[in-house]
Amino acid sequence: MGSGHIFFDPSSCHGNMLFLGNGDPLFRGPRSTMLKMEDSSKRRPFFSSPEELYDEEYYDEQSPEKKRRLTPEQVHLLEKSFEAENKLEPERKTQLAQKLGLQPRQVAVWFQNRRARWKTKQLERDYDQLKSSYDSLLSDFDSIRKDNDQLKSEVVSLMEKLQGKVVGGSVVNEKSEALEVDALTTLQVKVKTEDRLSSGSGGSAVVDEHSPQLVDSGDSYFHSTIDHEEYPGPGGCNIPPPVDGLQSEEDDGSDDGSCHGYFSNVFVASEEHHHEEGEEPLGWFWS
DNA sequence: TTGTGTTTTATTGCCTCC
DNA sequence: GGAGGCAATAAAACACAA
């Protein structure tokens, strides 16, 4: 361990000038042209196979300063360390460097690059989660919209029946008329309530049932980079902070304090989606 | 074998924090 | 002002298809 094939001159810009262990300059260019000016017979790639990596004789003949790719063992240990804590305190950096036979700077760079890779992956995961959540909500929205259509026609037909009775001059006493109006009002309230997808403090059944992935799992990039204190969910719900480009509504206080308000952005998107198709947005029913 | 895309290692410059 | 973090980037190593 601790030996490789090439090392770099830290003073050179971007490390473009490379040196072999004996100090001979090396041209750095396209992979196939990475040749020492003379004597390429002893030159080896950073590594060719895992077997070669553990070939002590192979490493022994190398100068300890040479730069090379990290061995699987080194990477494994670094990965384990990263899993435990993705930030590196100076003490741990030194310890790891000693353990791995690397420069502390190399360990720091590895952690930095590893954090960047993790972040990229996390953004991909977050995107996938948000997308599937959106798709699921959209499909629920469509089915609820169909239910609403059906209920709407029910109301219309009941209205017509009621009007027919009144206009037809049938014998309707005050009490029975009031009862029918009450029934209609109840039906309207019921439809209205379902239309809004939620009631009270329980939040949306749709959201609860189909969007568990939006519940803070603690490993989202967004969660980790944005302070939860700054993005509490409405009504004290434990939900992730708004995602740029999706959360377009301000909490204007009109929300009833339940969780569903947080997802209104999704419905806004749904509405826009239906608008594009020439359909009516959510909330068209009672307007 | 070669061209091309991806991954890994490293640098630079800027920013923030103490 | 120095240390450390991050984004952007370079370039070699690597993988793989044609």
Q: How many domains does the structure of chain A reveal?
A: 1
Rounded-to-integer distance, Cα A21 and Cα A4, Å = 9
Domain membership flag for residue A102: yes
Asked whether residue A30, judged by its CB, lies under 7 Å from any atom of the DNA or RNA strand B, the reply is no
A44 touches strand B (CB under 7 A): no
Band (pLDDT 50/70/90 cuts) for residue A167 is low
- Specify if A61 maps to a domain: no
On the question of pLDDT at A102 being above 80, the answer is yes
The enclosing domain of A133 has a CATH number of 1.10.10.60
Instruction: List the A198 CA – B15 C1' distance (angstroms).
Output: 45
Is A275 among the domain residues? no
Is A155 among the domain residues? yes
Mean residue pLDDT of chain A comes to: 57
Asked if residue A232 is part of any domain, the answer here is no
Distance of A41 CA from C8 C1′ (whole Å): 37
Distance A179 CA to C5 C1' (A): 70
Residues A122 and A221 sit within 8 Å (Cβ to Cβ): yes
A13 Cβ within 7 A of any nucleic strand B atom: yes
Interatomic distance A76 CA / C6 C1' (Å): 24
Comparing A29-43, A47-61, A115-129, A178-192, the range with the smallest average pLDDT is A29-43
**Could you check: is the Cβ of residue A257 within 7 Å of any atom of nucleic acid strand B?**
no
**Angle at which helices A264-276 and A104-167 pack, to 10 degrees?**
70
| Separation in Å: B10 C1' and A110 CA | 9
The separation, in Å, between residue A202 CA and nucleotide C4 C1' comes to 45
Of all nucleotides in the shown strands, which has a C1' nearest the CA of A15?
B11
Average pLDDT value for residue range A237-241:
36
C1' (C6) to CA (A219) span, angstroms:
19
Residue A239 within a domain:
no
Which residue has the closest alpha carbon to B12 C1'? Answer: A14
pLDDT for position A179 = 55
DSSP string, A30-95: SGGG--BSS--TT---S-S-HHHHT-HHHHHTS-TT-B-PPPHHHHHHHHHHHHH-SS--HHHHHH
The per-residue pLDDT for range A243-286, each reduced to its tens digit, is 333 333 333 333 333 333 333 343 333 333 333 333 333 233 33
**Tokens of residue A215, six digits:** 């519940």
pLDDT at residue A94, as a whole number: 94
Q: Which nucleotides of C are covered by protein (CB under 7 A)?
A: 3-7, 10-14
What are the tens digits of pLDDT across the range A7-62? 333 333 333 333 333 333 333 322 232 333 222 223 333 333 333 333 333 333 33
Put simply, whether the predicted model's pTM sits higher than 0.85 gets the answer no
Report d(CA A70, CA A136) in Å as an integer: 43
Examine the pLDDT at A115 and tell me if it is beyond 70.
yes
Among chain A residues 202 through 231, which have CB within 7 angstroms of nucleic chain B? none
CB-based contact A161:A200 (threshold 8 Å):
no
Residue A147 is given by DSSP the state H
In a domain, A84, yes or no: yes
Range of the domain at A84: 70-164
Report the distance separating Cα A6 and Cα A144, nearest Å: 65
- Give the pLDDT score at A165: 77
**Residue at minimum CA to C1' distance from nucleotide B2:** A32
Classify residue A124: in a domain, yes or no: yes
**CB-contacted nucleotides of strand B (7 Å):** 2, 8-12
In A212-247, which positions are buried (b, 16+ CB within 10 angstroms) versus exposed (e)?
Answer: ebbeeeeebbbbeeeeeeeeebbbebebbbbeeeeb
Distance measured from the CA of protein residue A16 to the C1' of nucleotide C10, in angstroms = 9
pLDDT at A117 over 90: yes
Secondary structure in 3-state letters for A149-184: HHHHHHHHHHHHHHHHHHHCCCCCCHHHHHHHHHHH
Cα separation, A17 vs A19, whole angstroms:
7
Read off the pLDDT band of A242 (50, 70, 90). very low
